[in-house]
Each structure stands twice: as C-alpha cells, then as structure tokens.
C-alpha cells in the first residue's frame, strides 16, 4: 500500500504534478503558493525534469505555451495578481488548443491585495480566463488529498480535450497540512501527433498557432471549440452532494468555503435542521443540473464564498428563480466561520425548527 505522509496543499500539488508526468515547470514566486516552486526546485533536478524560475509571470506562462506546443506535460503556478499577468499567454494557449495545467492559489484582491485566502478570482477563472470566446477546465479541490486527485485528472483531461486546466485553490488550502496518500499509478500521457517536436523528415510540419488570416476560418475554429465545450459539459461536470436528499436549506460552496460549510451543515443537522451541501468540484463546467434538481424542493439555497459573491450568479442561473438564492461571504483574506454559516442556515430555515 502507498505510504501516508503529511503535506501542505502546495507540496501535494507539486508532487502530484510530478507523478502525473510533468517534467517541465515554469514559475515565479508569490505568496501563498511559493511552496509549489520550492518543491519543484528541489525535486525536478533529481528526476531529470526542468524547474525554471522565469523573470516574470508573463515569461513563465509563455514558456508553458512553448513547452505545451512541444507536446510535454507542463505546468505553471501563481496566485491572483500573478494569474492576471499570465492571462495573455493563457489566451494564446487556448487559441492554439494546447494542454497544460495552471494553478491559482488565490489571495485577497483586487490589485496587490493581500496574502490571506480568497475566492475572488471565480469570475476570472470561469468567465474570462482570457480575451476572446474561450473556456478552460476549472477544478476546485477542498482537501489536500483531493488536490492530488484533481491535479492528476487535470493533466489527463487537458490532454484529452487539448485545452488548459486550472486548479483553483486558495491560500488556506495551499498552506494547510493534511495527511495524504499517493497511489502508485502508471501514467502514460497520450500520443500528441500535433506536437511541434521535430518532424525528422518523416511527416509534414506541425504548426501551433492562434492567428487566423480569414475571419470565417476563425469563426469555424471557435465554433468547433464550443462544440467541444458542450461535450465537456455533458461528460466532465463533477459535484459532491452532502446530505441533500431531504434538505430544506442547501449550502452551495466550493474549496475551503465548502469545508467550513460542511461543518456548519453537520451542526445544523445536530440542531434538527435539514441542511445539506452541494459542492461543485468543477467550476467550469459548472454543475448546474445538481442545483436545478433541488430548486423546487428546498426553502432556499445559501451560497458561501470568500468573495463579495461571484459563484452565486451561477447558482441563481441554475435555480431558475424556483427557489431563493442567498449569499454569505467574507472577503479581503477573511474566512467565514462555521458559526457564521450556521446562523445563516438557521435564518433561511425560518428559525431553529
């Protein structure tokens, strides 16, 4: 059996990436995700991989664009302000249909903000990862163990659909320590016949590019990409339902907010309130069906986020006005407490009964 170790979220992400076959990491340090780079810097030279600290986030993201073009499993990581800097390259990566993994361990914003945990980059991740019509896969782990699973899946699905996948964490998840097990799994990244890795006069040139001279051709390419997005929505949406079967009040929360919410739901159940939790594991595609299914059965939804309210818009869209959707959040690096969420559940239940 695989051995259990105690790891920080950031360390576990780095180890999981290496085990998923990532040998090309390009980064630039920023709190609270610097341990990812530190771990890569220590490990990569020992296993014949590349750890490169670039001169900036912009450079690091463009190195990922280059490495992904060559067909290798590659990754960059940062925290909120650094992700903004990477956005131009992310757009080129999407426009060139390249797979890679991007990690955002969110911190308080806007601007330089602060170093404490946040979930205020939800819109950026799910609505506008770049300029242009585009999406990337967005995974929201809620534990150190789940970070390991989702990093592995992110690499696999990025390759499968030829698009970037983001792991959207936060400062608390990146910094906290939990026991974690790595399964001994054989990784065989798929063949990438499109990669620009040397044709050796045995095949035609491959071209990786996001520029199209004719607008009708660009429209066709974008539309094809959106057909792929529909397929992904059907096949790759992930969600956890916790005690939702008979729930009157359903909390919707992801990542660290979901950990807090789960404790609040347990406390509410102990107090005799039928509370439940819907935890989106993929944020794009968003598990709208899971919300819709419950919309005519609940008194209310309560969306809990470390922001002023972003995912709550997706919950409202999914609920189709069949149930009230309320919001509770803290922002700027503050984390909602279990008691705060519990009190909101009690309020939406119409008291403690």
* Residues at the contact surface with another protein, assessed by CB under 8 A: 4-8, 11, 15, 31-32, 42, 108, 113-116, 171-172, 175-179, 256, 259-260, 262-263, 333, 335, 338
Round to whole Å and give the CA distance between 64 and 14.
16
Alpha carbon distance 25, 52 (integer Å) = 6
Whether residue 63 is preceded by a cis peptide bond, meaning omega within 30 degrees of 0, is no
Nearer to another protein, 34 or 303 (CB): 34
Give the nearest distance from C-beta 29 to another protein in angstroms. 10
CB nearer another protein, residue 115 or residue 222 = 115
Provide the minimum distance between the beta carbon of 293 and another protein in the complex, in angstroms, as a whole number. Answer: 26
Within the chain, residue ranges assigned H as helices are 9-19, 34-43, 57-69, 80-95, 122-126, 144-161, 171-175, 215-236, 255-270, 288-295, 311-319, 338-349
Tell me whether residue 75 or residue 335 sits nearer to another protein (CB atom): 335
Q: Supply the minimum distance, in Å, between the C-beta of residue 110 and another protein.
A: 14
Nearer to another protein, 243 or 317 (CB): 243
Minimal distance, residue 278 CB to another protein, in Å: 17
Q: Give the residue with the Cβ less far from another protein, 32 or 95.
A: 32
Identify the sign of the CA torsion 318, 320, 324, 328. Answer: positive
Task: Give least dist CB 138 to another protein, A.
Answer: 22
CA distances from 219 to 20, 34, 90, 136 (A): 34, 40, 19, 19
Q: In terms of Cα–Cα distance, which of 49, 110, 111 is closest to 75?
A: 49
Q: Which residues contact 33 (CB under 8 A, 6 or more apart)?
A: 10, 77, 78, 79, 103, 105, 174
223: CB partners within 8 A, 6+ apart: none
In angstroms, what is the minimal distance from the CB of 183 to another protein? Answer: 16
Smallest distance, another protein to C-beta of residue 96, A? 35
Helical pair 215-236 and 144-161, crossing angle rounded to 10 deg: 140
Nearest CB to another protein, comparing residues 144 and 319: 144
By beta-carbon proximity to another protein, the closer residue of 66 and 114 is: 114
Residue 37's nearest CA partner among 76, 7, 8 is: 76
């Amino acid at each position: 059996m695989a051995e259990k170790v105690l790891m920080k979220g950031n360390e576990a992400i780095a180890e999981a990436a290496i085990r998923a076959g990532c040998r090309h990491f390009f980064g630039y340090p920023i709190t609270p995700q610097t341990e990812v780079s530190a771990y890569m810097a220590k490990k990569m030279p020992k296993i014949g991989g590349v750890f490169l600290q670039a001169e900036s986030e912009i450079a690091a993201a463009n190195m990922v664009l280059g490495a992904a073009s060559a067909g290798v499993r590659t990754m960059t990581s940062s925290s909120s302000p650094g992700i903004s800097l990477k956005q131009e390259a992310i757009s080129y990566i999407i426009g060139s249909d390249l797979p890679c993994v991007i990690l955002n361990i969110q911190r308080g914003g806007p601007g330089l903000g602060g170093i404490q945990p946040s979930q205020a980059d939800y819109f950026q991740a799910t609505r506008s990862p770049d300029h242009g019509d585009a999406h990337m896969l967005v995974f929201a782990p809620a534990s150190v163990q789940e970070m390991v699973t989702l990093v592995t899946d992110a690499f696999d699905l990025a390759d499968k659909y030829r698009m970037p996948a983001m792991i959207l964490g936060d400062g608390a998840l990146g910094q906290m320590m939990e026991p974690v097990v790595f399964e001994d799994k054989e990784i065989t990244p798929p063949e990438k016949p499109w990669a620009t890795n040397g044709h050796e006069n045995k095949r035609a040139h491959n071209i990786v590019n996001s520029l199209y001279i004719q607008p009708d051709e660009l429209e066709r390419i974008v539309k094809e990409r959106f057909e792929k997005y529909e397929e992904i929505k059907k096949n790759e949406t992930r969600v956890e339902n916790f005690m939702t079967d008979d729930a009157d009040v359903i909390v919707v929360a992801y990542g660290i907010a979901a950990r807090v919410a789960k404790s609040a739901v347990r406390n509410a159940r102990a107090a005799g309130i039928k509370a439940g939790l819907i935890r989106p594991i993929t944020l794009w595609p968003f598990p709208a069906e899971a919300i819709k299914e419950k919309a005519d059965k609940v008194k209310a939804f309560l969306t809990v986020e470390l922001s002023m309210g972003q995912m709550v818009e997706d919950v409202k869209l999914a609920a189709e006005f069949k149930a009230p959707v309320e919001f509770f959040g803290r922002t700027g690096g503050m984390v909602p407490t279990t008691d705060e969420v519990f009190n909101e559940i009690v309020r939406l239940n119409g008291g403690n009964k």
